Amino acid sequence: MKLIDDVRSVTELKRKTREILAQVRQTGRPVVLTVNGKADAVLIDARTFEKHLSASNLAKLVAPAEDDVRSGRTRAMGAFLREFKRVRKISG
């Protein structure tokens, strides 16, 4: 991120919307929007947003499994597969 290029005020966004949107699309970098000199929001292009959303959704799906590992709620794969085959009545 280039602070001089990637931090803009909301007032500047109002005046130069097309230019700032073009910058976001061309560089792929987010633009931090400020209100009264303080960071208030971040503007990113749609493709980057979709990538972040997908990563976030995947992290939410994996989180319970990571909790299980941290808590020691795991078992050897061989034991799991034997039980799975027994319960499902799968031979071999």
Along the 92 residues of the chain, how does pLDDT read in single tens digits?
666 779 999 999 999 999 999 999 999 999 999 999 999 999 999 999 999 999 999 999 999 999 999 999 999 999 999 999 999 999 87
Domain interval for residue 18: 3-44
Same-domain pairing of 51 and 40: no
Q: Which residues are registered as beta bridge partners of 43?
A: 31
Number of compact structural domains in the chain:
2
Same-domain pairing of 36 and 51: no
Residue 11 near residue 18, CB atoms below 8 Å: no
Instruction: Return d(Cα 90, Cα 82) in angstroms, integer.
Output: 9
| Cβ burial, residue 43 (10 Å; 0-12/13-18/19+) | middle
| Residue 61: predicted pLDDT | 96
| Residue 1: predicted pLDDT | 61
CA-nearest of 23, 61, 62 to 45 is 23
